[in-house]
Structure 1
Amino acid sequence: LPRGLALTDEGRAYVPNIRRAFDLISEATLLLRPEPARLTISVTPSFATKWLIPRLHDFVAHNPLVDLRVLASESLSSFQADGVDIAVRQGRPPSGAGLVVDLLFPQQIVAVCSPALLPAGAIEIAASEIQHHVLLHDAHNLWPEFMEKAIGLKMTTELKRMRFNQTGLAIDAAVAGQGIALASRFLVAAELAAGRLVQPVSGEMRGTQDFYVVMPRKQRHPEPTQAVRQWLLDAGERPI
Structure 2
Amino acid sequence: MDRYPVRVEGHRDESLSRWLWLVKWIILIPHYIVLAVLWIGLVVLTLVAYVALLFTGRYPESIRAYNIGVLRWTWRVGYYGYQVLGTDRYPPFTLAAVPDYPARFQAEPGPPPPRWLPLVAWLFAVPHLILLGALTGATWSFGDGDARADAPLSLVGAAVLVAAVALLFSGRYPAGLHDLLVGVARWNLRVAAYLTLITGRYPPFRLDQGGSEPEPEPEPEPDGGRSATVAS
User: Larger helix proportion, structure 1 or 2?
Assistant: 2
Q: TM-score range by the shorter chain?
A: under 0.3
TM-score by length of 2: 0.20
User: Larger strand proportion, structure 1 or 2?
Assistant: 1
Higher Rg = 1
